[in-house]
Amino acid sequence: MSGADEVAQAMQKAGKVIATSHVNPDGDGVGSLLAATVFLQDAGKTVFSCLPDLRKYPPQYEFLPGREALLEPEALPESCDVFLALDCSNLSRLEPLEKAFRSAALTVNVDHHEDNTFFADVNYVDPTASSTAELVYRIAEAASWRLDGRAATCLYAGLVTDTGGFRHRNATPSAFMLAAKLAAAGVDVQGVAREIYESQSLPYTRLLGIALTRTQWEDDLRLVFSYVTQADLAETGATLAETEDLIDHLRRVKGAAVVALFKELADGSVRVSLRSGDRLEVGPIARLLGGGGHAMAAGYTTSKDLENSIVELKDALRDRHA
């Protein structure tokens, strides 16, 4: 029995399901969660969908069908038949929901991160999948759930963002085949692209300008990096939730081996996003520094201040080169 069949069977037996994704969710996190929500509701399940911190819901995904169903962790029931975690590599990324996780009769982990810790009773983890959205699609197929335009739109949002608009290594033949099926199911491809890629706020546009002006190049490491401070956010009125795609602007620099963006958080710690420019994989570096992610796209949070976090990354990269 395949992983998708096993999850489909567990879902078909369940009456009450809690579904969620990781803290600071990206397009695949919210897309796969909202698609699962739509599928499960249509299948007649009682679904409680939530995020560890709803305030961190990225504004460019507000348009997705099912968004209004998302609950605060406090609104969850005492227990459920199945707790479904999507696009989540480990339990710490679900922290405020740990009680709900522990009280579930069955826990299910559906993910494509290579560093997934297999933290649930049922683990459907496939690092060769383009996105968790692709795995949710396979589960829906195994369960014979009907794919309507709403679920397809959510899945497409996950697929298009996790593949970087079908430009990354994970833009596999099966990713393109899924895109075709979703488009055929009624996704407004142009509309989704406009919402996700052409709806940035004026404050964020100005913040982007500030960050791009600061771009630096470290020759021996072929490292391209920039940073965003709390003062930048205050000055422009932008929010950190809007900055998900900022690093994609940095990775456009030719010749980069590693691309890094340092974001100063409200408590003074720094969130570091990493992307591979070419062959060098950033996943192991992120893990070394206490984070995780994919081979080519990863990140971590450091308690060091902005200046020292930049030094910390350069040292880690030099150690790896040496």
111 binds Mn ion per the rule CB under 5 A:
no
d(Cα 134, Cα 125) in Å, to the nearest integer? 11
Minimum distance, C-beta of residue 170 to Mn ion, in the bound complex (Å)? 9
Minimum distance, C-beta of residue 114 to Mn ion, in the bound complex (Å)? 11
Q: Which is nearer to Mn ion, 116 or 132 (CB)?
A: 132
Q: Given the rule CB under 5 A, which of 49-57, 99-107, 162-170, 311-319 is the region that contacts Mn ion?
A: 162-170
Minimum distance, C-beta of residue 112 to Mn ion, in the bound complex (Å)? 6
* C-beta atoms surrounding 121 within 10 Å: 14
115 binds Mn ion per the rule CB under 5 A:
no
Q: Which is nearer to Mn ion, 60 or 236 (CB)?
A: 60
Phi and psi at 234, nearest 5°, equal -65, -40
Sketch the per residue contact string, 68 through 107, with Mn ion: x for CB under 5 A, - otherwise.
-------------------x--------------------
d(Cα 189, Cα 195) in Å, to the nearest integer? 10
Q: Which is nearer to Mn ion, 87 or 264 (CB)?
A: 87
DSSP string for 59-99? GGGTTSTTGGG-B-GGGS-S-EEEEEEES--SGGGGGGGHH
Q: Which is nearer to Mn ion, 30 or 80 (CB)?
A: 30
By CB atoms closer than 10 A (0-12, 13-18, 19+), residue 174 is: middle
Among 115, 134, 162, 218, binds Mn ion (CB under 5 A): 162
Q: Which is nearer to Mn ion, 28 or 242 (CB)?
A: 28
Minimum distance, C-beta of residue 113 to Mn ion, in the bound complex (Å)? 7
Q: Report the residue number whose CB is nearest to Mn ion.
A: 28
Minimum distance, C-beta of residue 162 to Mn ion, in the bound complex (Å)? 5
Of 163, 20, 34, 216, the C-alpha closest to 99 is: 20
Phi and psi at 225, nearest 5°, equal -150, 160
Q: Which is nearer to Mn ion, 163 or 200 (CB)?
A: 163
- The beta-carbon contacts of 290-298 under 8 Å, at least 24 apart in sequence, are 292/89, 292/90, 292/113, 292/115, 293/89, 293/113, 293/115, 294/113, 294/114, 294/170, 295/114, 296/168, 296/169, 297/168, 298/273, 298/274
Among 17, 20, 25, 28, binds Mn ion (CB under 5 A): 28
**What residues make contact with Mn ion under the rule CB under 5 A?**
28, 87, 132, 162
